[in-house]
Amino acid sequence: MRSVELAVYADDLCAEAAAFAARAERARSRLRAAALEREARRALRGETVLALESLGLLGRHDETSLRAELEELEAALAAIGELQAWVEEALAAATNAA
């Protein structure tokens, strides 16, 4: 019975890890977009930049917040990875004991 509970828990953790990984990739993508926006600001005329800002097409990304979010997500992924390793070890032990 324990091995079944551990297997279900391992599956749940895998889904959680995938969700956190997807969120981290979205944060990385927004950071890349912010870098492109920064580059565009330097290359475009001031009035164009103002027009794009008023349309909401520039200045959409707060890089400091995104970096903090990404750091938190990566820490969460590391913690989930540790827990997954423990669950897998416990599952192997339970399977061998049965």
Distance CA 98, CA 59 (A): 59
For residue 58, give the DSSP letter.
S
Q: How far apart are CA 27 and CA 62, in angstroms?
A: 11
Residues contacting residue 69 through CB under 8 Å, at least 6 positions apart: 27
pLDDT digits (tens, 9 = 90+) for 11-68: 999 999 999 999 999 999 999 999 999 999 999 999 999 999 999 999 888 999 999 9
* Mean pLDDT score, 75-88: 97
Name the band, by pLDDT with cuts 50, 70 and 90, for residue 2.
confident
State the pTM of this model.
0.83
Q: 């750091």: which residue's tokens?
A: 71
- Work out the angle at residue 52's Cα, subtended by the Cα atoms of residues 42 and 55, and round it to the nearest 5 degrees: 160
Please say if the pLDDT value at position 98 is more than 80.
no
Instruction: Write down the domain spans for the chain.
Output: 2-93
> Residue 44's CB: how many other CB atoms inside 10 A?
14
Q: Please, which pLDDT band fits residue 1 given cuts at 50, 70 and 90?
A: confident
